[in-house]
């Protein structure tokens, strides 16, 4: 474990971004496996994969959707959170109550709207939707309100207890739950259509 921690500390950007992306994609898989009410099926990609793709034949899983979520997670969320958390620590160093509160407030006023917006708009873009803002308009406010409650608590723990080098991957783990919620919210529009 010490050796793994040493490698992680030596390459914090790579470890944080890859760890966050894996957790972000896992959230979509969990949402599809647990919360989805789709009938059991295999996608055309899975059918075309043949024997080599036998491991990918998971009933009811839309692997294209998971790839889109992973892409948004990797291209925006993981990188943004890595640099955002470093900038917050640089602007407001330390873990005292005053600094933690200031970081949480800034996080909720700046990062939360950006990351939620990137999630809905990014997925709409990758889905080639005509109106990229449709899901955002319908779901942003509910998602933001839920996020303020959830993330304020989680970020307070993050900023006060987690070493700065591991904050992005910690947030990735915590984001697993919130991303399941976002994926479920995103899916809600599809179920009603």
Query: Tens of pLDDT along 118-155?
Result: 999 999 999 999 999 999 999 999 999 999 999 999 99
Predicted confidence band of residue 189 (pLDDT cuts 50, 70, 90):
low
Q: How far apart are CA 41 and CA 4, in angstroms?
A: 39
The reply to whether 41 falls in a domain is no
The reply to whether 40 falls in a domain is no
The reply to whether 42 falls in a domain is no
Length of the chain: 193
- Domain that includes residue 16, residue range: 2-26+62-191
- Long-range contacts, stretch 189-193, CB < 8 angstroms, 24+ apart: 189/134, 189/135, 189/138, 189/139, 191/37
Q: How far apart are CA 116 and CA 119, in angstroms?
A: 5
The reply to whether 109 falls in a domain is yes
The reply to whether 49 falls in a domain is no
pTM, to two decimals? 0.79
pLDDT at position 89 over 70 = yes
Find, among 171, 177, 190, the residue nearest to 30 by Cα. 177
The reply to whether 32 falls in a domain is no
163 Ramachandran zone, left/alpha/beta (phi>0; psi -120 to 50): beta
Task: Read off the pLDDT of residues 42-81 as tens digits, 9 standing for 90 and up.
Answer: 444 444 444 444 445 456 789 999 999 999 999 999 899 8
Q: Which of the listed ranges 17-21, 39-43, 128-132 does the model predict with the highest average pLDDT?
A: 128-132
The reply to whether 67 falls in a domain is yes
pLDDT at position 188 over 90 = no
How many percent of the chain have pLDDT more than 90?
49
Top pLDDT among 79 and 9 is at 79
The reply to whether 47 falls in a domain is no
Q: Are 81 and 168 in contact (CB under 8 A)?
A: yes
Average pLDDT on 21-25 reads 87
Q: How far apart are CA 138 and CA 86, in angstroms?
A: 32
Residues contacting residue 28 through CB under 8 Å, at least 6 positions apart: 65, 66, 69, 70, 179, 180, 183
Q: Are 151 and 144 in contact (CB under 8 A)?
A: no
* Structural domains of the chain, count: 1
């Amino acid at each position: 474990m010490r050796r793994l921690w040493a490698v992680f500390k030596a390459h914090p950007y790579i470890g944080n971004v890859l760890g966050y992306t894996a957790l972000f994609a896992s959230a979509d898989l969990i949402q599809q496996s647990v919360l989805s009410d789709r009938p059991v099926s295999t996608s055309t990609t899975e059918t075309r994969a043949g024997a080599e793709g036998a491991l990918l034949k998971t009933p009811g899983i839309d692997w294209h959707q998971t790839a889109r979520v992973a892409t948004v997670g990797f291209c925006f969320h993981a990188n943004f959170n890595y640099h955002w958390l470093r900038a917050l620590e640089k602007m407001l160093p330390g873990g005292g109550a005053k600094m933690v509160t200031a970081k949480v407030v800034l996080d909720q006023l700046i990062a939360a709207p950006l990351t939620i917006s990137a999630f809905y708009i990014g997925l709409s873009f990758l889905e080639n939707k005509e109106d990229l803002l449709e899901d955002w308009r319908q779901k942003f406010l509910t998602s933001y309100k839920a996020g303020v409650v959830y993330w304020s608590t989680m970020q307070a723990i993050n900023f006060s207890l987690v070493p700065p080098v591991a904050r992005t991957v910690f947030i990735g783990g915590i984001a697993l739950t919130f991303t399941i919620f976002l994926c479920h919210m995103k899916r809600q529009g599809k179920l009603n259509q």
